[in-house]
């Protein structure tokens, strides 16, 4: 627990520094080592890329114990703070979720408002904020500066679910900050105007998903920094890009194949 506490404290300090931190999203010890060797000071573990790597699928379909085993291996090998995407919590009570994450060596976690195990039900604002508050209380009780990254899919779900998706996301991230989230993650932002609006709605870092080569719809790393973004992760995009590049190269080695 001492090592986990130290890593969580470092992660929390970065989030409170006012500086932008890039946390590459990894899926195994190999990708974690590549990211650390490239200079990453912390990592995120994505449920989507891990599920693809182990032959499962995203949407809380992995066995949580198996997922945490992957997380434990990454944390042990990487030597840097690791934040884990736990979707909506895999049906666990917040206190049990935090306990199991700490045991796996996690220094932080994304917690989202779409409950995949219940037909993709979307938690209402208060329910999701209360879940985060309970997770915050459990981490504090354990004496760990665990970094909860409160995620909402309001923008991603769009007008089919909410009349004003960006406004809904704004309301949700402010409630999550009040509940104890140390970062917020409104998934699906695609423009500088959206990013700028939501950055200004909170005092904690706002997380955006970027492509490691193509950046974000709002611009490259420096553009995001200029907009006030303070946390960047890759979601499944790095893994997908590696797959696309590799498939193109490997095609030239396949019988009858031709390099694209």
User: Can you tell me the distance from the alpha carbon of 92 to that of 127, in angstroms, rounded to the nearest whole number?
Assistant: 14
Single out the residue of 12, 52, 20, 46 nearest to residue 32, CA to CA. 46
* pLDDT for the residue numbered 254: 87
Q: Indicate yes or no: pTM above 0.75.
A: yes
Residue 197 φ then ψ, to 5°: -60, -45
Residue 256 within any structural domain of the chain: no
Residue 29 placed within a domain: yes
- For residue 217, being part of any structural domain is answered with yes
Range of the domain at 120: 2-246
Q: How far apart, in whole angstroms, are the C-alpha atoms of residue 162 and residue 174?
A: 17
Type and span of the H or E element at 149: strand 147-152
Nearest to 138 by CA among 95, 170, 167: 95
Other Cβ atoms closer than 10 A to 34: 15
Domain presence at residue 259? no
Q: What is the CATH number of the domain that holds 101?
A: 3.20.20.60
- pLDDT tens for the chain, 260 residues: list them: 559 999 999 999 999 999 999 999 999 999 999 999 999 999 999 999 999 999 999 999 999 999 999 999 999 999 999 999 999 999 999 999 999 999 999 999 999 999 999 999 999 999 999 999 999 999 999 999 999 999 999 999 999 999 999 999 999 999 999 999 999 999 999 999 999 999 999 999 999 999 999 999 999 999 999 999 999 999 999 999 999 999 999 999 988 665 54
Q: How far apart are CA 235 and CA 107, in angstroms?
A: 18
How many domains are there within the chain? 1
Q: Which helix (H) or strand (E) holds 242?
A: helix 237-250
Q: Which residues, 6 or more positions from 214, have their beta carbon under 8 angstroms from its beta carbon?
A: none
């Amino acid at each position: 627990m001492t090592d986990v506490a130290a890593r969580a404290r470092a992660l929390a300090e970065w989030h409170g520094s006012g500086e932008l931190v890039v946390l590459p999203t990894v899926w195994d010890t190999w990708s974690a080592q590549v990211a650390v060797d490239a200079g990453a000071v912390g990592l995120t573990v994505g449920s989507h890329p891990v599920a693809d790597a182990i032959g499962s699928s995203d949407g809380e379909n992995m066995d949580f114990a198996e997922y945490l085993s992957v997380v434990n291996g990454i944390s042990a090998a990487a030597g840097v703070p690791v934040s884990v995407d736990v979707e909506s919590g895999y049906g666990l009570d917040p206190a049990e979720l935090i306990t199991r994450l700490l045991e796996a060596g996690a220094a932080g976690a994304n917690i989202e408002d779409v409950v995949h195990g219940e037909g993709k039900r979307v938690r209402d604002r208060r329910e999701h904020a209360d879940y985060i508050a309970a997770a915050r209380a459990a981490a504090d009780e354990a004496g760990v500066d665990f970094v909860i990254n409160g995620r909402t899919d309001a923008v991603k779900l769009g007008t089919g679910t909410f009349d004003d998706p960006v406004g809904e996301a704004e309301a949700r991230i402010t409630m999550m900050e009040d509940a104890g989230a140390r970062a917020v993650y409104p998934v699906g932002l695609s423009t500088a105007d959206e990013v700028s609006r939501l950055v200004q709605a909170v005092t904690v870092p706002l997380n955006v998903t970027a492509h490691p080569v193509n950046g974000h719809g709002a611009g490259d790393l420096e553009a995001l920094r200029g907009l006030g973004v303070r946390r960047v992760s890759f979601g499944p995009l790095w893994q997908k890009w590696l797959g696309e590049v590799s498939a193109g190269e490997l095609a030239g080695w396949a019988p009858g194949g031709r390099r694209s």
